[in-house]
Every structure is written in structure tokens, then in C-alpha cells.
Structure 1
């Protein structure tokens, strides 16, 4: 079934934003990539480019939030869950030939302060993702303060690693850091006495690397 004009514009904008950011994506680019008639933009999006970008970004954030929540709830052990997240991101980058990373990072780097709603959306997205990670660590028994620091570490390392992987066209850095971060999380959980694997915290890296 052929996609309607509005859907094509949303999909084209989502792709262009991930490639070029907010300022690098022009209305002409969106119309050209979507094959939409020139007069269709304001028909479907009376607020123009800003409304279109906000809708696309909100949808992208919701999808990432859903996937992250599912990944964290699928495993009782947050170290294993986080390890799987790193692996999934590595696969995603490889599948798109290292052309697309985080859907909101290019928007943030463009610093669209003249669109407050968009800036607020990006800020709240990171807060929500960090919050989901933190909640997972707290459920496993990690103290609130350390759980927050670990969550920020995971999110920031993923964002940086996506850039490195795209530059090197290699997911190996993501997989290497996955082992280290998962070992750190496992050590934090083991230190609470909530998990009993029969291994010392110093052996956690080997345990995770063998999974």
C-alpha cells in the first residue's frame, strides 16, 4: 500500500534529522526526499518545519524509550540487560552501514534554542532514559546515588560510542566497552548482596564476556 503524503514527510524528516540535524535539514530537503508537493507541508503541518520536526522527534523518543524499557524489563539482571543494549546498538549501526546513530543527538548538537519545545523534548528524553536505567539498577539493590551515576555513565558512553563507531565504521569499540560497563554494573549489584553467582566482583567481566 502506498504511503500517504503525511507519512512520507514524517519518515523523510526522521531520516534527514539523524543524518544532518535540525539546521542541516531544509524544507526543500524534506519535500525532495518525501516526494511531497510543495504546498502539502503547511496543509499537513500548519506550524511548518518546527511542528514537523517536533512530531518526528517526539515519535523517535517514544520508540527509543519503549525499546529501552523492554530491554531492561526482559532481564532481572541489569548487567545482562545493559550488555544486550550495547550489542543491539552495535547491530543497529552495522545494519544501517554506520550512517545513523541516536535520533536526537544531531538535534541537540545543533542547539536549536530558538525552538524551546524541541530543546525541552531532547532534554526530557535523556532524563527519561537515564531514569529508566537508574530504576533498573535500584531494583537490583544499588544505592540511589550510585545508580544514578551508573545510569549517566551508560547513557553517555552509548552516545559517544555511536559517534566513534560511525567514524571508524566498526562496532568493535561498542562491544569492548559493553563488557567493561556490564562488569561494573554487576560489581555494583554483587556488592549489595542481591545476586549470588558464586563469583567475585573481580571475575564479573569474564562471566559476562562468556555469555
Structure 2
């Protein structure tokens, strides 16, 4: 029973943080959404709200990182992989009725600078996600500098598109940008191949 209560609190907090951010989620909100006894929070999380949010955010980041890494490794063509990622984000938004987006963006926008561990988790999350994209592009032959720029473009556009889709309650913008970004990645891969062939011929 204790484990069930702890799990409910974690799941409720994960949803609330993605919907309302760090400062917009109160202890009362968490207890109400999880149907947990008032004294249970500090029993399971002695560090209180901060410990709970840190644990939830760390788990959410790990989940996204795992899924992103798998998507990029599954498909050898990074342009196809990127297109699949955008489509996956579009489906996720539609399935949750445009109520949830990136698990760390609401935390970042809330700027909880008095919780250094939380700030570090968010910083590291974007570093990991951009790094996975950069590595995928480099494996396909895109030069490192271009690969880094493309990775930043993909991640930043996804973050912005999630906000736009939630505001408009429409997945169409995500799908439209997916085609454009995938085409850019394809061009970068082709340019890398041409450059390598020219070097080999020289």
C-alpha cells in the first residue's frame, strides 16, 4: 500500500509539473491529485516537494533520453529518424489532448534557481538530447559543426512546436515542420557524402 501511495504521488506530480510548472504545483495539488494522506509526502520524500520534483524530473528525462536514443539508432537514415520523432511528438500531443508537452520546459520557464539540483537536471537534459541528435548526424557523415547546428535546430523547433500545438490544439504545425527539417537533414547528409567523395578523389 505504501508503494502504491508513493507511485501515485510520483505519477500525479509528473503530470502536474508538465501542466503547471514547478511554482504552479503546490503540495496540496499533489496530495489532492494522488489521493494521498497529508502525512505521506514527508514519509516518502523527506526532502518535501523539492525531492519529489527532482525525482520525477530525473525519471522523465531518462525516459525521453531512452526513447530518443532508440529512435535515432533504429533508423540508419537520420532524416527519416527525425521525421519519425516529430510524428511521435505530434501523436503524443494529440493523445493527451494538448495538455502536456516537454517534461522539463515548464520547470525551466519557472526558473527554480533555489533548487540547484533541478536546474542541473534540466540543463543536462537538453545537453543529452542535443548530443544524441548531433551524434546521429555525425554518424551519417555530417561535419561536427553542421551536426551541432542541426541538432540545436531540431531540439529548439520541437520545443517551440509543442507550445504552439498546445496553444492552437492542432498537430498540423508539427507535421509541417517535420517535412522541412527532415529535408534539411537529408541535404546535410548528402553534402557530407559529396565532400567526402571530393576529398577521396583529390
TM tier relative to shorter chain = over 0.9
Partners of 2:177 and 2:15 in 1: CA distance: 27
The residue matched to 1:4 in structure 2 has which SS? helix
Cα distance in 1, alignment partners of residues 58 and 2 from structure 2: 24
Q: Is residue 106 from structure 1 mapped to residue 106 from structure 2 by the alignment?
A: yes
By percentage of residues, which structure has more helix?
2
Q: What is the alpha-carbon distance in structure 1 between the residues aligned to residue 74 and residue 151 of structure 2?
A: 17
Distance (whole Å) between structure 1 residues aligned to residue 49 and residue 2 of structure 2? 24
1:12-52 Cα deviation digits (max 9, x unpaired): 00000000000000000000000000000000000000000
Match of 2:197 in 1: none
Q: What's the counterpart of residue 77 of structure 1?
A: 77
In 2: Cα distance, 1:104 partner to 1:2 partner: 28
* Counterparts of 1:184 and 1:2, CA distance in 2: 51
Matches within 5 A, 1:1-211: 4-193=4-193
CA distance in 2, matches of 1:76, 1:19: 34
Query: 1:200 matched to which residue of 2?
Result: none
Query: What's the counterpart of residue 200 of structure 2?
Result: none
Which 5+ residue runs of structure 1 have no aligned equivalent?
195-211
Q: How far 1:2 sits from its partner (Å)?
A: 10
CA RMSD between the two structures: 1.3
Q: Secondary structure at the match of 1:191?
A: helix
Whole-angstrom CA distance in 2 between matches of 1:31 and 1:192:
54
C-alpha distance in 1, partners of 2:69/2:95? Answer: 22
Q: Distance in 2 between matches of 1:2 and 1:41?
A: 11
How far residue 117 of structure 1 moved from its aligned partner, in angstroms, is 0.4
Tell me the alpha carbon deviations over residues 78-113 of structure 1, each in whole angstroms, 9 at most, x when there is no partner: 000000000000011001110100011100000000
User: Residue 192 of structure 1 aligns to a residue in which SS?
Assistant: helix
SS of the aligned residue for 2:36 comes to coil
1:123-155 per-residue CA deviation (whole Å, 9 max, x = no partner) reads 000000000000000000000011000000000
> 1:158 offset after TM fit, Å?
0.1
In structure 2, stretches of 5+ residues that fail to align are 195-202
CA distance in 2, matches of 1:151, 1:119: 21
Alpha-carbon distance, 1:193 to partner? 1.6
Cα distance between partner residues in 2 of 1:99 and 1:176: 21
